[in-house]
Structure formats: C-alpha cells, structure tokens
Amino acid sequence: MLLLTFTLRLPAFFVDVFNSDETFLATQAQVIRDGGSLYQEATDRKPPLVPYLYAATFAVVGSSALWSIRVAAMLAVALTALLLASEARRRWGDRAAWTAALLFVGASVAFAPQDGQAANFEVFMLPAMTAAVVLAARDRPRGAGFAVAIATLAKQTGAATLLPVAYLLWKRRPPGGVRRGLLAFALPLFLVALLVGPGDLVFWAVAGNGSYFGLGSVSAYVAGLFAVMTFAFVACNLPVLWTVPEAWRERQSGVDTDLWIWLFSGAISVAVGFRFFGHYYLQLLPPLCLISAGALAKRPAIWAQRTIAVSLVTACGFTAVGFLFQPWGDEPKYERVSSFLEHRLRPTDRVFVWGHLPEIYWASGARPATRFLSSGFYLGDWGGRPPGDERADAPTPGARIMLMDDLRIRAPRYILDTTPAKIRGSQYHPMASLPEFRAYVDRSYHRVRAIDDIVVYERLAPSRLAEGGPHRAAAPIR
C-alpha cells in the first residue's frame, strides 16, 4: 500500500503548487514557526490541526517546500487504506481486505490534480474518521470518540462521523457506549480550545462561518456546479461505484447499516455550504470502498480483479495528468513578485496582499500584516459562486474592522494589489470596494512598480508621512 500510494502520488515531488489551499496552510505554518498566534496572525475558517501538522512537517525537514507535507499526505492515504483493509477483512475476509485498500488508494487520486494530489484538509481527516468507525465496530467507544475528535480538528465535517459511530456504539452497548464515546469526543476539543483560545476556536471554526455556509447565494449556478462536480466524481470513480446499486438492493439490516449511515454522513458533509469543490468528495471514498469490497466479496474473484485493474489503470492516468496538466488554465504568476519581496524585506517587515494569492506569502517567506490571507473574509468573494456576482458576497462578521485594526498595529512595508492581474476573480473586487482601505493606501503608500500586473505599493518614509506628500509612482515593470 505504501509503495502504490507513493507511486500514484509522484507528482508531489515535481509540482510546486497544486492549489491555493496548500500555500494558505503553508503560510499559516510559517507564522506558527515564527512564534505567531494562529487565529490572531493567520486565520482560517478551519480548526487548527492541519496548519500545525504543516508546521511540524516543515520543522522536521527544515524547509517550507510542499513536497514534505505531501509525503505526510501519502502516509495518511496509506494508513486509511490499511484501516479499511482491517475492517473489510473482519467482515468479509482477505480478498475483501485487498479490494477495499487497493480501490481506495486508486480512487484517492482519481480527481483533477488540484483535488486528488494536493495535501488538503480532507486527506488528513480521512485516517481519523476511518479509525473511528473501525474502533466503534470493535466496541472501543473511547478510542472511537477520540478519533472523531481528531477528524473534527482536521476539518469540521469530520464530526459527521459521529452518526455511524453512535449507531455502532448504541448497537453494542446502549447507552453507556454512546456516553463514553461522546465524552472522549468532547475532551480533546475542550483541551485544544484552551490551548488556542476558546473564543477564537469557536468563532473561526464554527460561529463565524455563517457567511460561508449561508444559503442565500444558492442559485442555478450552484445547482449546475453540483451536477457537474457530482457527474465528474461518478465518472472518475466508476470502479468504486458500479457495485453500489446492487449492494443497496442486497443490504442487510443491522449488518451493513453502519456503512450506509457513514456514506450518508459523508454526503451531508459534501453538501454543507453548497460549494461542491472536488476535494470535498474525498470523504465519500472510505464507506464507498467498504461497500464495494463487500459486494465484490460475494462474486467470483475475477470481478474483484477486473475492478481493481480498471481502478489502478484509471489512477495511473490521473497521475500522468498530475505531471502534465495545469488545472483551470495557467497558475497565477507569483514567482517574480515573490522574488522582489524576498530580496528587499527586512526580518521585521510585513506584507499585505489584496486578493487571493497566498502563494506570495509562502514563496517569499513574508510575514502577513493581517490575519487575513484571502479577501474572502473581508469581501465575501468566496469560491463556488458566480464570478463577479456581488449578491453572493458574504464577508465574515467583523472582518473589516479586524483588517483595519491589524493594519494599524502591524503596518506592512509593502501592499500588493492583484486586481489588475485578474487573479481568481480579483478584477471584480478592486481596493475601492473597501473605501477605508483605499484611503489607508492613498494616505500612507506610494506605487513602486507593477510586476506581472501585480501592483506594488511601498509605505512612505516617516518624514513623508508627516508631510502628507503626494505619491510618486515608478514606471511599471512588465
């Protein structure tokens, strides 16, 4: 399993960035390694486990290159496969164990590269959520509850695994098993909240997400996105899915009910927020692989062999795509502007990027001036909605006030405006969208140059700030 996982994920060593989530997490990890506070200096809408995992991995290898965390992702995939093999063997025997594990490793890369090859939240959530079901099936309530807590600390949707876990614990030891499981689930969350700050954890991981998960921006565009992404998932994972209708018809009450509850909880997790990014569908794979392994265990061995063969051939095709294909057009050009910053920044200097390009923070090693690494927090221009549709914009409550407070406390030396570069829809949200920020830039900064259409502003010297002199723009560099 380790060797197969490593082989199918070889693009990890040759592609700098698969998606912006990786560099977002890497920037958080750099802040943590520099002694910064996660939610005060580099926040996200997620629990803290994965940023700290990135930071620990970078510390071990002494570098923030993303290949290191992708090796950790390989281990997470292989561990999930082995856990699935253990559960399949317990239910249906050795052949089912190999079937479940091989199908999962193959299916985990059968996505567009930015979803199947990236070291994203879901990859690190899967081992814990799988372990929770495996432990609950073996009547280990405390271990199962603790595992659900770890999955939840990787991503909030891991908590949905409580549904199959509670069913299994109730079935084996009602009601004491459920109580022990819930206590073991709550205790790690409580301890982590004390470590990172209860208010910050509750707001950024739960209470502050109403704007992102709001239903008000659901539209025909979102319905179309759901149809396209779900069809793509089905088409890319037919080896895992083709036996599911038969398994549903032949399901046995009380025998495989937990697997269907698990699949249902995963479907809820995918649908929450109605964003339907490809990597959200990863959490459907563990229950689907077990259901498929169980169905194939009832057929002659040749069916399992053929299914696995098709799955691995498909996976190899997606691995090849990972080497060759840049998803959704060319990746944003961030290298030259990052090099510009890297050669000019002093250790105490801060940087602020207007828009959504965390690659600049990561590649330059610049310390962010605000806790917001993306414009989604203060503008509400989250992904998964029609580009430029301001009706769908929903800023995080209080984010604009926090942004301006951060800028006053940690005034950046450089401000980078990605609007002219039209990066990830930035052209629809110029700095004038936030008048107080535009005034802040006009008052305290002057334009230095433009690098690959990213405009660079530098803070005025104290003497010029006192004079309130005019801003002098240098000739742009293209």
Q: Model confidence over 318-367: pLDDT tens digits? A: 999 998 865 545 567 899 999 999 999 999 999 999 999 999 999 999 99
Lowest mean pLDDT: which of 149-158, 205-214, 395-404, 469-478? 469-478
411, 403 in Cβ contact below 8 A? no
Edge-to-edge strand list for the sheet holding 454-459: 367-368, 350-354, 414-417, 454-459, 445-451
Rounded distance between C-alpha atoms, residue 41 and residue 35, angstroms: 10
pLDDT of residue 472: 46
pLDDT of residue 126: 98
Element (H, E) at 354: strand 350-354
Amino acid, single-letter form, for residue 83: L
Q: Model confidence over 31-60: pLDDT tens digits? A: 999 999 999 999 999 999 999 999 999 999
Rounded distance between C-alpha atoms, residue 23 and residue 21, angstroms: 6
Q: Is the pLDDT of residue 475 over 50?
A: no
Quote the domain boundaries for residue 436.
Answer: 335-467
Is residue 329 domain-resident?
A: no
Q: Is the pLDDT of residue 266 over 70?
A: yes
pLDDT of residue 477: 40
Q: Is the pLDDT of residue 375 over 80?
A: yes
Is residue 291 domain-resident?
A: yes
24, 44 in Cβ contact below 8 A? yes
> 424: closest CA among 477, 385, 371?
385
DSSP assignment letter at 272: T
Indicate the residue among 268, 297, 324 that finishes a domain. Answer: 324
Same domain, 318 and 355: no
Rounded distance between C-alpha atoms, residue 385 and residue 222, angstroms: 7
Q: Is the pLDDT of residue 191 over 50?
A: yes
**Mean pLDDT within 371-376:** 94
121, 73 in Cβ contact below 8 A? no
Residue 31: how many CA atoms within 13 Å on its side-chain side? Answer: 28
Q: Peptide bond preceding 175: is omega within 30 degrees of 0, i.e. cis?
A: yes
**Mean pLDDT within 406-435:** 95
Q: Is the pLDDT of residue 389 over 80?
A: no
**Mean pLDDT within 245-260:** 92
Indicate the residue among 324, 346, 366 that finishes a domain. Answer: 324
pLDDT of residue 473: 44
**Mean pLDDT within 180-205:** 95
For the chain, what is the domain count? 2
Indicate the residue among 265, 293, 324 that finishes a domain. Answer: 324
End-to-end CA distance of the chain: 48
Q: Model confidence over 63-106: pLDDT tens digits? A: 999 999 999 999 999 999 999 999 999 999 999 999 999 999 99
**Mean pLDDT within 243-269:** 94
Q: Is the pLDDT of residue 470 over 70?
A: no
Share of the chain above pLDDT 70, in %: 94
Same domain, 271 and 148: yes
**Mean pLDDT within 113-134:** 96
pLDDT of residue 16: 92
Same domain, 247 and 351: no
What is the longest distance spanned by two Cα atoms in the chain? 84
Same domain, 145 and 278: yes
Same domain, 17 and 154: yes
pLDDT of residue 382: 83
Q: Dihedrals φ, ψ of 351, to 5°?
A: -135, 145
154, 124 in Cβ contact below 8 A? yes
Is residue 17 domain-resident?
A: yes
pLDDT of residue 462: 83
**Mean pLDDT within 249-274:** 92
Q: Which residues pair with 352 in a beta bridge?
A: 415
